[in-house]
Amino acid sequence: MTKLRQKRTAEMTRPEINPALGLNLVSQRTLERNTGRVSVVIPAHNEAATVAEVVAESRRGLDLIGAQGEVIVSASGCTDGTAKVAADAGANVVEAPIGKGSAVRAGLDEADGDIVCLVDGDIRYFGDRPLVAILVEPILQGIADACITDLYWRPLYPQMWLHGFFAPIAGYLFPEILPKVGSTPWSGQRAAVRELWPTNLPDGFTVDLEILMHWNRRALRLRPVLADDWVNPQRPKPELMAQELKVIFQHAIETGRAQNNSWPALERWYDRIHAAMVEYQPDSDQPQQFEQDLLLKSLNWLKSEIGKIQES
């Protein structure tokens, strides 16, 4: 029998897939709207220059969607006038130890909303509708229980993080997460119903990824929300990506996606992709082409390391 005939025979003997399999066909809307109270939590470390604007825009966002709520600024180890500026702008201010995770945790402890929205204290957003409005509205409508902003990002480093690091490793260990988080899964601008917020959070900047991984496991409808133009200060965090690899790996161990013996291979992959990122030269490399080349290198190197695990 020829290969073509064998293929046709196999296709004829496969069972038919019901196109409605798994769908609950209904004649009317079944999603329930959420009318809960909203808490906006703004983690801020020495953000006296921007925090009043963020507070005002958060208030405006709540008003636009007709939501009852509060605005909380979590002043994290501030040594400037952030706390006073925030209080003068009408926010409820709580003091927190230094560290973004510490600030988020203190804000969550203070919040009494049924929905909690995080907005960074140093962000300036230029969209017509404030971040709070576009993040919370899908949750109020019942079409999402957690949202993360899909922000257009200009500097290359986060794009290298996405193409070289997160997309390959998440695609290997947590492929279901990629269509749910958009192009900026690291974003600190996010919202979710109260029960989805974890109680155990790290002190530092891995908090955003920890929340994301927690939502991936527990949120029924985690969705990205398209956002407009924006800007915030650049604060390089050279050790953060290596820390985030450990976070992803730990979640993979806990969920049975990886075994402990795979860590050396993933660490070798990480060292190679990190070295490739260092090679970027802004005066000569074309950013988009560099991103695409980085993605292909990362995928090939990860495939190679996975192969070594399987052979051992």
Contact (Cβ atoms closer than 8 angstroms) between residue 50 and residue 123: yes
Lowest mean pLDDT among 28-32, 84-88, 104-108, 183-187: 28-32
pLDDT on residue 238: 77
pLDDT on residue 67: 96
Mean pLDDT of the 201-206 span: 96
What does the DSSP 8-state code read for residue 222?
Answer: E
pLDDT, one tens digit per residue, over 159-180 is 789 999 999 999 999 999 999 9
In this predicted structure, the answer to whether residue 3 has a pLDDT above a threshold of 90 is no
Distance of CA 160 to the CA centre of its chain: 15
pLDDT, one tens digit per residue, over 90-122 is 999 999 999 999 999 999 999 999 999 999 999
pLDDT on residue 2: 64
pLDDT on residue 311: 78
pLDDT on residue 150: 93
3-state secondary structure of 18: coil
Q: Going from the N-terminus, what domains does the chain have, and what CATH number goes with each?
A: 38-151+187-227 (3.90.550.10), 240-311 (no CATH)
Closest to 163 in 3D by CA, of 183, 191, 193, 142: 183
Closest to 52 in 3D by CA, of 92, 96, 93, 82: 82
DSSP for 136-147? HHHHHHTS-SEE
Question: Which token pair is 223?
Answer: 């969705």
Mean pLDDT of the 67-90 span: 97
In this predicted structure, the answer to whether residue 140 has a pLDDT above a threshold of 80 is yes
Residues of the chain with pLDDT > 90, as a percent, come to 78
pLDDT, one tens digit per residue, over 37-64 is 999 999 999 999 999 999 999 999 999 9
CA torsion through residues 91, 95, 101, 107, sign: negative
Work out the mean pLDDT of the chain and round it to a whole number.
92
In this predicted structure, the answer to whether residue 284 has a pLDDT above a threshold of 70 is yes
